[in-house]
Structure 1
């Protein structure tokens, strides 16, 4: 019970937080859900989605960078009664891969490093040169992956299939109360938008509370950590492996005083 008496806030959506919740509770901690993000279909871009789906067979690779990308892309195929053609699939992250596997979709490439750079490095230059790649994405997708692939000679199209927006049902009162009463030990963030939306939801007062709080902040990776640092906040915990299990292990290591988990 290495997290006994620790209250850890999860800012992910409930369907994405199950594994993390279970792992925290297994170690005796209390997991509290405060989702900062909501995802909705990008219906205003249906025409663009339909155009790219109509020529799916022209692509060599289909790259999914999140569970939501899989979910909303496949939903659009199902709505149009369209079968996924024989196309190579790359998945960034174990949860993205699991989502594809549950749908019976074979995966041809999963990078060891769950990042844009990790995926680019997993390809060889010869594999990418002239390769046609489709990336279903969100309205907040970073350009790092697309830019990197293009630099290696790939022809890349990024099409928005869903939008990431601030959670309209975020419980401000409960979160503020826990923070003020020093009842939150760690807040976990699995994306820059999870943190940025929290700041947007709480406004300046909430940011000030975070800055003066003793609560520890945990970021899933360096990109998320940079977003937190840009607001003048310190990131205390970054897992070596960007998974729910890695996050819990990093939190445990932090409280056990292992310096390599302290950022």
Structure 2
């Protein structure tokens, strides 16, 4: 299904280096993608707690390591290396089983030498809980400072003793270079980078862009940095697409009911949601040179 305006702009709230595959999928569907990174990731101000839990993991204190994002993999590897080891060596020493939230996270874990035994089809906390076994013992759950409590609580209901530790923090972009957790960069042509003024100009035009919200934190930063100003950016100036159910809930809490929610967070799943959003919303034609005649 083609968008309702030729080359309708799509603003992805992600760094361009992490949106290469999504750019390809969106362009293949007839859209014009842009990247607007509003958030970044940093190591915690004090990594002592993570060092402590990695040491416990290496001693065999945990039966499971639950990994919910690529950022978690990157952060744990950085902290492990700071302690003179690697995440793979820690996991092998302690013989914990590892679950990854989805295929991309599992691939990243494999890339640093960590074997994954469980990956849910539904790439979400709900998906993990649907396939995670009941049992007793200890589970290590490293997450963002902003991660909701639903996964920890769900694992506890399955009988496990869960130790949640802050592996990284979500901050406004750009992060402190000395504490930044590097994202996973994709090879290929990147989408054009927007800054906030350029995004405001695009959002204030007649094209009514589609905005892809990649996390609840992206919703909050979009509200803080792009709304309420002279440009009067609001839900009538864009169509929202959520990368998943949690992000969709954050959008609804702001009064921005998403036009579509991706069934899965892959480039293909997001592009399909963008197509659905385009079919449900009206816009004028968009041409990158500004000619709308």
After TM superposition, the score normalised by the length of structure 2 is 0.80
The residue number in structure 2 matching 1:98 is 107
Per-residue displacement from partner, 1:102-134 (whole Å, max 9, x unpaired)? Answer: 223211001111111210110232xxx213111
Paired residue for 1:191? Answer: 215
Report the equivalent of 1:261.
none
SS in 2 for 1:133: strand
Q: 1:163-202 maps to which residues of 2 (within 5 A)?
A: 163-168=169-174, 171-202=195-226
Conserved? CA contact 2:243–2:262, under 8 Å: yes
CA drift at 1:26: 2.7
Q: 2:9 aligns with which of 7, 10, 24?
A: 7
Give 2:37's aligned residue.
35
Q: How many residues align?
A: 253
Of 49-58 and 21-30, deviating more is 21-30
Which runs of 5 or more structure 1 residues have no equivalent in the other structure?
A: 258-263
Q: What pairs up with 1:109-124 in 2 under 5 angstroms?
A: 109-124=118-133
Alignment of 1:44-123 (within 5 A): 44-56=45-57, 57-82=60-85, 83-84=89-90, 85=92, 86-123=95-132
Q: Which runs of 5+ in 2 are unaligned?
A: 176-193, 281-293
Residue 161 of structure 2 aligns with which residue? Answer: 155
Task: State the distance in 1 between where 2:158 and 2:112 align.
Answer: 31
Is the 8 Å Cα contact of residues 8 and 184 (structure 1) preserved in structure 2?
no
- For the residue of structure 2 that corresponds to 1:204, the secondary structure is coil
Distance 1:224 1:187, change over 3 A: same
Contact 1:64 1:136 survives alignment (8 Å): yes
CA separation of 1:94/1:205 partners in 2, compared to 1, >3 Å: closer, same or farther? farther
Q: Distance in 2 between matches of 1:104 and 1:200?
A: 39
State the Cα deviation string for residues 55-90 of structure 1 (Å, max 9, x = none). Answer: 112111111111100000011111212222232111
CA distance, structure 2, for counterparts of residue 166 and residue 182 of structure 1: 28
Aligned-residue RMSD, C-alpha: 2.2
Distance (whole Å) between structure 2 residues aligned to residue 23 and residue 206 of structure 1: 33
How far 1:211 sits from its partner (Å)?
2.6
Query: SS of 1:53's equivalent?
Result: helix
Q: Which residue of 1 aligns with 2:257?
A: 234
Q: Select the structure with the greater relative contact order (CA < 8 A; seq sep ≥ 6).
A: 2
Give the ranges of 4+ consecutive aligned residues of structure 1 lying more than 3 Å apart after TM superposition: 1-4, 253-257
Alpha-carbon distance between aligned partners in 1 of 2:208 and 2:36, rounded to the nearest angstrom: 12
1:201 Cα offset (Å)? 1.8
TM-score normalised by structure 1 residue count: 0.88
Q: Distance in 2 between matches of 1:233 and 1:189?
A: 11
